[in-house]
A = this chain, B = another copy of it.
């Protein structure tokens, strides 16, 4: 399974492609960062990110895309940019019919280090080890994108089971209310 991980951001958007399957060795296919100038207008930055992601999707043909799930408890300005960049990533993938999964930062940290509260250095060190690299990928956004892809490869089977269960539950007819009872 080939997965593109995307660590969304307007200034630096990390991208990493990993091949692997649960319980099998992982291989890095590519890693990089899409950058847009901080003084450019947001709409133009989003267009640049879309173009960059399209190139990555064309070049590496992943079977799934994993994007970091954005929370808004942090810095307001940063969060907005991150949410906007993640929207572009989801859009590019879904437009091609690729499955998109969102993983929270703690899910990703827990997947690669065993702890949901691991720091950047620990994530970088584990990504280096798991992908048998010579040095941690720089900047941290690139390492985070690879960690997202790894997290997705390892979590995907569980993810699919939950999804199928939900879909099956939706297909079942709603339980009819027994006749003659009074709604409480």
Contact = CB atoms under 8 A, between A and B. Distances in A.
Majority DSSP secondary structure for residues of A touching B: helix
Using C-beta atoms within 8 Å of the partner chain, give the interface range for chain A: 20 to 34
A84 interface: yes
A42 B44 CA distance: 23
Interface in A1-54: 41-44, 46-47, 50
A51 to B, nearest CB: 9
A70 B77 CA distance: 10
Contacts of A88: 87, 91
A50 B86 CA distance: 15
9 contacts: A41-B94, A42-B90, A44-B94, A47-B95, A50-B91, A72-B80, A83-B83, A84-B86, A88-B91
Contacts of A86: 84
A52 to B, nearest CB: 13
B94 A83 contact: no
Contact of A90 (B43, B70, B90): B43
A49 to B, nearest CB: 9
Q: Interface centre among A43, A73, A76, A79, by most B CB within 10 Å?
A: A43
A43 B80 contact: no
A108 interface: no
Given A47-B91, A47-B95, A87-B88, 7 more contacts: A41-B100, A43-B90, A43-B100, A46-B87, A46-B94, A72-B72, A72-B79
A73 B73 CA distance: 10
A150 interface: no
A153 interface: no
